[in-house]
Structure 1
Amino acid sequence: MSIQMNGLPLDHPWPEPKLPELWYSDTIKGLHASTENDWDSLRLSALQTAAGRALWRHVIHDPLAGLLAGETYLKSLYDKIKKDRLNNAREVSGVIIAVRTLWFDTKLEAAINSFEDRAAQVVLLGAGMDARAYRLNCLKESNVFEIDFPEVLQMKTTILQAAENSKKEAEHFIVTAKSVSRVAADIRQKDWLNKLQLAGFEPHKNTVWVLEGILYYLSHSQAMEVLNIITENCNLTHTVLLADFMNKQSTTLSKSNFHFYSDWPDQLLPSLGFSDVNLSQIGDPDAHFGLLHDPQNLFNKLLSLPRSTETHPDDGKPCCRLYLVQASGSPSQTKS
């Protein structure tokens, strides 16, 4: 039996990307081609995330991910994965997306189950090509709201409508949520909450806010404004926040893209008004999912160091950390 690495034996071939026949239609190909010329890195990150979910399909069930990602990003990531496997890399490309996706899936289901009637509003900020409303059965009593740039949601809607109309793809196009509403808005602007409410969001209903892969693209003032708006919801109803935070060293990975950071989000969120905060790092027991077996991989090595350590003592490289944070609050618990 060969050693397991990232969920697959080393001698087991990585599943190749499979584009459905529908992708080769002029409409879908044209949409993906236009993004490469017209979209900035923030918008394109939605396609990169979808590609990660598609290529890690042995652990993530997301039949729509490949269609939403498109050929360019699927091929690029697949080539990186093949290279990593050939070189026996300790961390295979895309593993962060895989672990992060599974962590958010697991915590979202737990949050939904924590409500008495298992009914809640779920708001996906910077939803991109997220297909949770089509693949998570735990959302069957929940109203899902997806917020993103108009052009991102328009592309997504066009692709999903094409899938719905395709006999071969229709089986994947089943909305598992009670409802799904798309809200065209830029969360960096001050009007996104109003647009959300116009779409049917009710502030007094139990709400789970999902901020996956979005906060660090914002400026400090923008991110804090978003977090404060969500915190205000705690004064009205039972609120759960699921978010990932970069530490300061992580922003050096792309100074042009990454701006907001928090070295101690488990202290930041209580200071804003959340009463119950739990923090994990990739590699922790609830953020592992059997994908990080090598004890010398980057994430396991970081877990052995104090969070205040800025550079790794072995090689002097920045200690880049991604924090996965679950926070909750309610009117009876928020600070006065």
Structure 2
Amino acid sequence: MSDQENGLPEVRKWPELKLPDLLFTDTVRQAHARIEKEWDAQQRSACQTAAGRALWKHVIHDPFAELLAGETYLTSLHEKIKKDCTNNAREISGVILAVRTLWFDSKLESALHSSSGRDTQVVLLGAGMDARAYRLSCLKESHVFEVDLPEVLQMKTTLLQAAMESTNDHRHLTMKAKSLTRVVADIRGNDWLEKLQTSGFVPEKNTVWVLEGILYYLSHSQAMQVLKIIADKCTLTQTVLLADFMNKSSTTLSSSVFHFYSDWPDHLLPSLGFSNVKLSQIGDPDAHFGLMPDPLNLFNKLRTLPRSIQTHPDDGTPCHRLYLVQASGSPNQTLP
């Protein structure tokens, strides 16, 4: 099967980077200059994620991704992709962000479909530069809440407003969600749920919680507190959690940034109150989307090893794993 049949551009023909004019307007330039100057590594990771979505646009349609990523992160990732293509690398840079995005998109859509989507709330914790409310039609009956720090939400609002003002054709920039509420709160603290409820979140309504690329930036106690708060909602209503977890080895990728890990999130979440948990790894049948054609790439090689193994037997390198986890629970559930 060719790369094109697998959803990949021909390896040596990755599109050249063409930056949109909007990135060079004063408002957008100044906004991204502030990001570089004022944001920490965790906050800037939101721009890196947006860059991944922008450069893998042959599989992800995100009309705001380039704008939210900014020139610095688009250029940096594109250079890595070009180098990977030149070297015939088994894993192209950004593919993990593309697969992760598509997994969250597909699981969110199926969760909303199973609940008929009516009046279901979707909470994006640590929303960053997520534009799902503008790009996923499955949210048309859902109330979406984006929770993040004030500087992040304000910057996002500024950039999106710049996009709206720069075009006369707003059809591809219109919001897809039934409603969108941005909630200023720090999920590392104790009052984010209270602020969410003050903003219109109803604890008794069916809710899908999306925690993409956020848990491992928290301390162990902070992450556990967030997971427990969400798990507690299983006693009130149908509750779905979509989250990604790093294993212990993965936190060594950046000793100063990554903290929380779980080698066995499919054991952890039932202990907190979720009755159904499904774990996938990058490259699994529901987590490759035709983007993992090489059986010898890093992710496929890891999938064949028992999860208890921390170093690869072939070369002694750490087994860096990212687990994609869907968990759910409801008041009438039976815990295992």
Offset of 1:172 from its aligned partner? 3.0
Mapping for residues 34-53 of structure 1, pairs under 5 Å: 34-53=34-53
- What is the SS of the residue equivalent to 1:234? helix
What runs of 5+ residues in structure 1 fail to find an aligned partner?
none
1:62 to 2:62 alignment: yes
CA offset digits 1:5-45 (Å, max 9, x no partner): 97324355212333332222111100101111111000000
What amino acid maps onto 2:68 in structure 1?
A: L
Instruction: Give the whole-Å Cα distance in 2 for the aligned partners of 1:171 and 1:29.
Output: 25
CA offset digits 1:189-229 (Å, max 9, x no partner): 11101110111000000000000000000000000000000
Instruction: Give the equivalent residue in structure 2 for 1:273.
Output: 273
CA offset digits 1:224-256 (Å, max 9, x no partner): 000000011111100000000000000010111
Instruction: Give the whole-Å Cα distance in 2 for the aligned partners of 1:117 and 1:95.
Output: 29
Mapping for residues 80-99 of structure 1, pairs under 5 Å: 80-99=80-99
What amino acid maps onto 2:7 in structure 1?
A: G
Instruction: Give the equivalent residue in structure 1 for 2:113.
Output: 113
8 Å CA contact 1:18, 1:66 repeated in 2: no
Instruction: Give the equivalent residue in structure 2 for 1:174.
Output: 174
Instruction: Give the whole-Å Cα distance in 2 for the aligned partners of 1:184 and 1:9.
Output: 39
After superposition, the Cα gap between the structure-2 partners of 1:310 and 1:177, relative to the gap in structure 1 and judged at 3 Å, is same
Identity %: 72
Instruction: Give the equivalent residue in structure 2 for 1:230.
Output: 230
8 Å CA contact 1:274, 1:334 repeated in 2: no
Instruction: Give the equivalent residue in structure 2 for 1:74.
Output: 74
CA offset digits 1:91-111 (Å, max 9, x no partner): 000000000000000000000
8 Å CA contact 1:139, 1:178 repeated in 2: yes
1:15 to 2:52 alignment: no
Instruction: Give the whole-Å Cα distance in 1 for the aligned partners of 2:46 and 2:125.
Output: 12
8 Å CA contact 2:11, 2:88 repeated in 1: no
Offset of 1:173 from its aligned partner? 1.6
Instruction: Give the whole-Å Cα distance in 1 for the aligned partners of 2:4 and 2:317.
Output: 27
166-175 vs 67-76, greater mean Cα deviation: 166-175
Offset of 1:118 from its aligned partner? 3.7
Mapping for residues 109-258 of structure 1, pairs under 5 Å: 109-116=109-116, 118-168=118-168, 170-258=170-258
8 Å CA contact 1:17, 1:54 repeated in 2: no
8 Å CA contact 1:143, 1:179 repeated in 2: yes
Instruction: Give the equivalent residue in structure 2 for 1:311.
Output: 311
Instruction: Give the whole-Å Cα distance in 1 for the aligned partners of 2:334 and 2:15.
Output: 47
Offset of 1:164 from its aligned partner? 1.6
8 Å CA contact 1:5, 1:292 repeated in 2: no
- Report how many aligned residue pairs link the two structures: 336
What amino acid maps onto 2:313 in structure 1?
A: P
After superposition, the Cα gap between the structure-2 partners of 1:225 and 1:169, relative to the gap in structure 1 and judged at 3 Å, is farther
Instruction: Give the whole-Å Cα distance in 2 for the aligned partners of 1:261 and 1:48.
Output: 21
After superposition, the Cα gap between the structure-2 partners of 1:203 and 1:11, relative to the gap in structure 1 and judged at 3 Å, is closer
Offset of 1:145 from its aligned partner? 0.3
Instruction: Give the whole-Å Cα distance in 1 for the aligned partners of 2:168 and 2:65.
Output: 16
Provide TM-score, normalisation by structure 1: 0.97
- What is the SS of the residue equivalent to 2:332? coil
170-179 vs 256-265, greater mean Cα deviation: 170-179
What runs of 5+ residues in structure 2 fail to find an aligned partner?
none
Instruction: Give the whole-Å Cα distance in 1 for the aligned partners of 2:3 and 2:114.
Output: 38
Instruction: Give the whole-Å Cα distance in 2 for the aligned partners of 1:22 and 1:3.
Output: 32
Offset of 1:3 from its aligned partner? 4.7
What amino acid maps onto 1:191 in structure 2?
A: D
Instruction: Give the whole-Å Cα distance in 2 for the aligned partners of 1:95 and 1:2.
Output: 17
- What is the SS of the residue equivalent to 1:133? helix
CA offset digits 1:64-116 (Å, max 9, x no partner): 10011100000000000000000000000000000000000000000000114
After superposition, the Cα gap between the structure-2 partners of 1:318 and 1:33, relative to the gap in structure 1 and judged at 3 Å, is same
- What is the SS of the residue equivalent to 1:18? coil
8 Å CA contact 2:117, 2:139 repeated in 1: no
Instruction: Give the whole-Å Cα distance in 2 for the aligned partners of 1:243 and 1:152.
Output: 20
What amino acid maps onto 1:296 in structure 2?
A: L
8 Å CA contact 1:22, 1:166 repeated in 2: yes
8 Å CA contact 1:4, 1:293 repeated in 2: no
Instruction: Give the whole-Å Cα distance in 1 for the aligned partners of 2:5 and 2:47.
Output: 25
Instruction: Give the whole-Å Cα distance in 2 for the aligned partners of 1:152 and 1:71.
Output: 18
- What is the SS of the residue equivalent to 2:161? helix
Instruction: Give the whole-Å Cα distance in 2 for the aligned partners of 1:167 and 1:83.
Output: 34
Root-mean-square deviation (CA), in Å? 1.6
After superposition, the Cα gap between the structure-2 partners of 1:249 and 1:231, relative to the gap in structure 1 and judged at 3 Å, is same
